[in-house]
Amino acid sequence: MAYCNFMVTSKLIITMKILCVIIPYNDTNWTVGNLNSIFVSEKFFSVLMQRVLYILNLVFLLIFMYSCNKVQDKILFDQLSRWDSQIDRSPYAISDSLKLIDYSELNRSNKAYYNLLKVISDDKTYYNFTSDSLINSVALYYKGHDPKNSNYIRALAYQGIVRTRMGVRDSTVYEPLREANRLLGSMSNPNPTLGYFINFFLGNVHYNNRNFVSANEYFQTTLKYAQLEKDSTHLLDTYLALYWNEMQNKDFGVGKIYLDTVSMFYDVIPDKNYFILNAQSIYLDIIGEPEKAVEKVKDQLKIYNKQRESIEVSRLYFNISDRYVGLGQLDSAMYYAKTAVAMIEDSTFRQNHLYYKNIADIAEKKGDYIVANEYRKQASEFYKNSVQDRLNTQIAEIEKKYDLTESENKVLKAQRQIMRIIITALMVFIVFIFILMYAYKIRRNTKLKLLVTENRLHQQELQTVIMREEAGKRKWLLQLYSNISDRLTFLQEEFEKLTQRYVSSQPKVYKEMQRILKNTDTDLRDIGITLAPDDDTFFSYTKIKDENNILSPNDKLILMLLSCEANNRQLATFMNTTIDSIRVRKSQLKKKMSENNYDVSLFG
């Protein structure tokens, strides 16, 4: 009991000393003997209460500040959510509203949400994107902190959209869009607007890569989402995309159907009149009505300055000039061609050389070769610059494809560090197991190696003996057959002489002898068929696989005899023919095998 009291008292002393560290108390004589006198001291209780109140106030202040921050974050999140619901209808207003928020006061989650809304509003207000770093940071945040949030799908989608706006055409556009489409498909109730954008730009990627079948599939899915949205602008944009896809695919009949649908939107959405006229102009030009096509382009000139999107006026004048060239009206063509050059806004645009080339071509047709030469030189200079720009762009795109942001590098570095630890642990474990097993296996492996080596040597010796025996048998059989064949030939000759004696005196005997000679000759000629080897026997002798069945039975017999080192005389005897015939056959067989890439090493 006394021990317990001592422990409690000691803990109280330690607690009091800790309190004194927070707000020092001048009484330093903390011992068990004077502890009771300290506790009954009025000064002690006064100081103790001050310290307790100080700590409680500090705790309450921290809790209050944390609560205020949470409330403020919730208020800002709700505000961003309200703007998000209005961003499709009023992107300009939302863009202005976002500028009023103090970005530094946002927590990490709200900063990611803010940046996502900023990218979306910039895209909808036709902002000229020059970098994708902002949307990359958004996608990286949601991937690491909230991958199930629908905003992660939106961030992936706008990664592809922003890169498309920047003119990128490589896989860095396609991959995030495809991943966004996969995640969207896993949702029970996908957002139609998000589905529209993802499939529209996936179709656009395939369209730019001239994969029109896949592009059509994505655009058809886009149309379904646009119909679910009941958004007339999205419907029109989808029908325009389907129209251009069919025109590029040379299916003008289906393209005309989509064009008729597009034309129904004229004046319904005034902002889109320019693009409807452009589609009509191209179709009229294709079907051979350039006069009407020119009028449509001139109508575009009348309304281009009313469009929210930036329109290349020089391109319009160029199109008019090109159509006047087709009509043979070279003066009008030259006027609009020079106007197109005069209206060029971006002197670094890679297609500028076409404008100068157009003037040169028109001047040449008019016979003004001085002007043609002057503009062709300028076109050449612009073309060289455009080639360099394209090379620089391709190099930049390649670098970009493999360039990770600093945040991504940190994440990858952390992942690599974890992987190193895991791999190191696995390696240690594997080495430990290996060491345990190595001692056991080494003796057994040594014995096995000795047994295998002895067995291999024994097999080699046996194989050598067998090969020698087989070679001797083959040579003996060939010599035997050669002697038999020679003897048979001699007998045939003698038999022939005897038949001559009985031609007149014994005609029946003569006919019977002729029949025997004929049958003998037939049997000799059919020996190739009688002794035709199967595939396994043929391969065992020649190591040749006749997979294409180009070799006849006689060809195979010749090759097998060659593998037995038979000479031309032996071949002629065996095949019942002459040596010259054998030479011809061998030459033809070698040629046939060479043409079919067969091994011809048996021919020497």
pLDDT in tens, 157-215: 999 999 988 888 778 888 999 999 999 888 888 889 889 989 999 999 899 888 999 99
Burial of 112 (0-12, 13-18, 19+ CB in 10 A): buried
Which CA distances in Å does 345 have to 115, 129, 313? 31, 18, 9
Secondary element (H or E) of residue 579 = helix 579-595
Predicted local confidence at residue 53, as pLDDT? 65
Per-residue pLDDT, 329 = 86
Amino acid 509: pLDDT: 66
Is 432 buried (19+), middle (13-18) or exposed (0-12) by CB count in 10 A?
exposed
User: Which residue positions in the chain have pLDDT lower than 50?
Assistant: 1-9, 11-23, 25, 28, 30, 32, 35, 38-40, 401, 404
Structure tokens at 291: 């006069």
Q: What are phi and psi of 596, to 5 degrees?
A: -105, 20
Over residues 262-309, the pLDDT tens digits come to 999 988 888 888 889 889 988 998 888 888 888 888 888 888 777 777
The position carrying tokens 């493999």 is 402
For 535-574, b where at least 16 C-beta lie within 10 A, e where not — what string?
eeebeebbebebeeeebeeebbbbbbbbbbebeeebbbbb
Residue appearing with tokens 């026997």: 537
Question: From CA 469, how far away is CA 573, in angstroms rounded?
Answer: 24
**Burial class of residue 382 in the structure, from the number of CB atoms within 10 Å of its CB (0-12 exposed, 13-18 middle, 19+ buried):** buried
Q: Are 352 and 314 in contact (CB under 8 A)?
A: no
Q: What is the CATH number of domain 312-403?
A: 1.25.40.10
199-226: burial string, b at 16+ Cβ within 10 Å, e else: bbbbbbbbbeeeebeebbebbebbbebb
Q: What is the Cα–Cα distance from 86 to 20, expressed in whole angstroms?
A: 58
Helix or strand or coil: residue 597? coil
- Read off the pTM: 0.52
Contacts of 93 (CB under 8 A, 6+ apart): 86
CB atoms within 10 A of CB 525: 12
What pLDDT is recorded for position 337? 87
Q: How far apart are CA 24 and CA 45, in angstroms?
A: 14
